[in-house]
């Protein structure tokens, strides 16, 4: 089985799929569909939303009980294989997107292939996760609704830890509108958007709360049109991470409550929450059950981690579906030059996912599960 799994990962990694290249994502979807059909004996539905290609396998005629979730887009631009070629050496697999998260996609196929009965399973592989899932969020939430569990095949945290808590993400742009003037002849007649932005950066930087793990980070910034002109406009981006929905809401109110400092300046605040938090309660019972299954399978004891990065698991947890994330490859270097997967962990991890799916199909239900509207 391991040889076939490695071959499938190679097929996926060697088909490059940067999120922003629609043709590349479509070609990657073709590769994912071929690998999935080879292992599951059925082709997926192809769902194209605003040019972005997602794939869905539904098994059985009844309502879904478990959603397996992954994505096939990556952050790596076309041509990355020339500098970061696919390779297997010394028990380590490398290649752009192998860890985040093409190995996890292949693992999902092999986990389901181990099951005699897949009725009640939905497998959804999306093509825009790395850019915030702008077209697939509604699809994800619709497929998750009514499920007893959502299992996310994203890569593990450090040391193979499952991701049991993810911060929610909010994204903003703070735009300052001032008044242009000649910087040498009469700067006093202008309203300097750069100065206004500088003051707003300090205000925004103070909204975070280290005690609660809330980060509010000003990032990309631009202003003005020429070195000898008082800037009339400018803006900066803000990245927010929060562990709870209450904190996400508090920050949103504070961001939209910003007021200009300079006389004559005007502010425009654009944006808001992008992904809700995946709070620890949403994964607790699933993690406990996975830990028991790991022991039965003779696997190393599972560990858990709370992480700042978000995934599509934030969406399933956000609508009340018990969600366990980080079930994919063990390794490291996501989005980095040293991206890699530890081959030795692939078989056991795949068997764990298969066992979790089987137990949910057999009737396992979280004590905190909430009901949804069901499959549309």
Cα–Cα–Cα angle for 347, 336, 314, nearest 5°?
Answer: 65
The mean per-residue pLDDT over the stretch 195-204 comes to 98
Which one-letter DSSP state was computed for residue 352?
Answer: H
In a domain, 43, yes or no: yes
In a domain, 333, yes or no: yes
Residues 181 and 242 in one domain: yes
Q: If DSSP codes are grouped into helix, strand and coil, which group holds residue 149?
A: strand
Domain tally, the chain: 2
> Exposed e or buried b for every residue in 309-330, given b needs 16+ CB within 10 A?
ebbbbbbbbbbebbbbbbbbbb
Tokens standing for 324? 């366990």
Q: Among residues 219, 240, 275, which one ends one of the domains?
A: 275
Cα–Cα dist 121/100, whole Å: 23
The mean per-residue pLDDT over the stretch 298-323 comes to 96
Residues 153 and 116 in one domain: yes
In a domain, 143, yes or no: yes
Residues 306 and 218 in one domain: no
Neighbour-count burial of 159, counting CB atoms closer than 10 A to its CB (0-12 exposed, 13-18 middle, 19+ buried): exposed
Cα–Cα dist 50/296, whole Å: 45
In a domain, 227, yes or no: yes
In a domain, 58, yes or no: yes
pTM of the entire structure? 0.90
Model confidence at 375, pLDDT cuts 50, 70, 90, reads: very low
Tokens standing for 122? 């939905």
Cβ(10)–Cβ(16) under 8 Å?
Answer: no
Write out the H or E segment, with its range, that includes residue 169: strand 168-177
Residues 82 and 119 in one domain: yes
Tell me whether residue 73 is one of the annotated catalytic residues: yes
Active-site pick, 8, 16, 73, 143 = 73
Tokens standing for 368? 């905190």
Tell me whether residue 249 is one of the annotated catalytic residues: no
In a domain, 371, yes or no: no
Residues 148 and 50 in one domain: yes
Query: At 323, which CATH number?
Result: 3.40.630.10
In a domain, 181, yes or no: yes
Residue 350 has pLDDT above 70, yes or no: yes
Q: What is the pLDDT of residues 156-176, one digit of tens each?
A: 999 999 999 999 999 999 999
Residues 128 and 189 in one domain: no
Query: At 253, which CATH number?
Result: 3.30.70.360
Range of the domain at 47: 2-167+277-361
Q: Among residues 240, 275, 310, which one ends one of the domains?
A: 275
Q: Among residues 275, 309, 331, which one ends one of the domains?
A: 275
What angle separates helix 22-40 from helix 103-113, to the nearest 10 degrees?
20
Residues 33 and 148 in one domain: yes
Residues 316 and 197 in one domain: no
- The mean of the pLDDT values for the chain is 96
Residues 269 and 178 in one domain: yes
Residue 372 has pLDDT above 60, yes or no: no
Model confidence at 367, pLDDT cuts 50, 70, 90, reads: confident
Active-site pick, 16, 100, 128, 129 = 129
Which percentage of the chain shows pLDDT scores above 90? 96
Model confidence at 368, pLDDT cuts 50, 70, 90, reads: low
Cα–Cα dist 337/128, whole Å: 21
In a domain, 221, yes or no: yes
Closest CA to 310 of 216, 173, 170: 170
Closest CA to 286 of 254, 323, 311, 237: 323
Residues 51 and 197 in one domain: no
- Residue 182 CB neighbour total at 10 angstroms: 13
Q: What are phi and psi of 361, to 5 degrees?
A: -65, -30
Residues 271 and 334 in one domain: no
Residue 236 has pLDDT above 90, yes or no: yes
Cα–Cα dist 200/38, whole Å: 55
Strands 92-94 and 340-342: antiparallel
Cα–Cα dist 86/227, whole Å: 46
Residues 64 and 107 in one domain: yes
Cα–Cα dist 209/243, whole Å: 11
């Amino acid at each position: 089985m391991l040889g076939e799994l490695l071959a499938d990962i190679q097929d996926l990694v060697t088909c490059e799929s940067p999120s922003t290249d629609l043709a590349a994502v479509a070609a990657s979807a073709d590769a994912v569909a071929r690998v999935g059909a080879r292992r599951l004996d059925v082709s997926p539905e192809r769902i194209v939303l605003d040019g972005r290609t997602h794939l869905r396998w539904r098994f059985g005629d009844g309502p879904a009980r478990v959603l397996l979730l992954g994505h096939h887009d990556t952050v790596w631009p076309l041509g990355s294989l020339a500098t970061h070629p696919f390779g297997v050496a010394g028990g380590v697999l490398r290649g752009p997107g192998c860890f985040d998260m093409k190995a996890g996609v292949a693992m999902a196929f092999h986990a389901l292939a181990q099951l005699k009965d897949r009725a009640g399973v939905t497998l959804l592989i999306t093509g825009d996760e790395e850019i915030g899932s702008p077209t697939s969020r509604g699809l994800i939430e619709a497929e998750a609704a009514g499920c007893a569990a959502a299992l996310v095949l994203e890569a593990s945290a450090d040391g193979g830890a499952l991701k049991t808590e993810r911060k929610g993400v909010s994204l903003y742009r703070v735009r300052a509108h001032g008044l242009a003037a000649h910087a040498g002849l009469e700067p006093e007649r202008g309203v300097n958007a750069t100065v206004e932005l500088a003051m707003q950066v300090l205000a925004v930087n103070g909204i975070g709360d280290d005690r609660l793990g809330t980060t509010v980070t000003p990032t990309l910034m631009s202003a003005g049109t020429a070195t000898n002109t008082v800037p009339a406009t400018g803006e900066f981006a803000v990245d927010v991470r929060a562990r709870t929905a209450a904190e996400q809401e508090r920050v949103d109110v504070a961001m939209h409550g910003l007021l200009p400092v300079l006389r004559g300046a005007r502010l425009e605040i654009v944006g808001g929450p992008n992904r809700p938090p995946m709070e620890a309660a949403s994964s607790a019972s699933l993690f406990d059950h996975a830990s028991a299954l790991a022991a039965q399978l003779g696997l190393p004891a599972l560990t858990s981690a709370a992480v700042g990065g978000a995934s599509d698991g934030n969406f399933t947890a956000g609508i009340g579906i018990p969600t366990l994330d980080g079930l994919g490859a063990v390794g490291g270097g996501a989005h980095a030059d040293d991206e890699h997967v530890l081959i030795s962990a692939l078989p056991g991890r795949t068997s764990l996912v298969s066992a979790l799916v089987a137990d949910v199909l057999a009737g396992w239900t979280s004590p905190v599960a909430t009901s949804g509207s069901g499959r549309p």
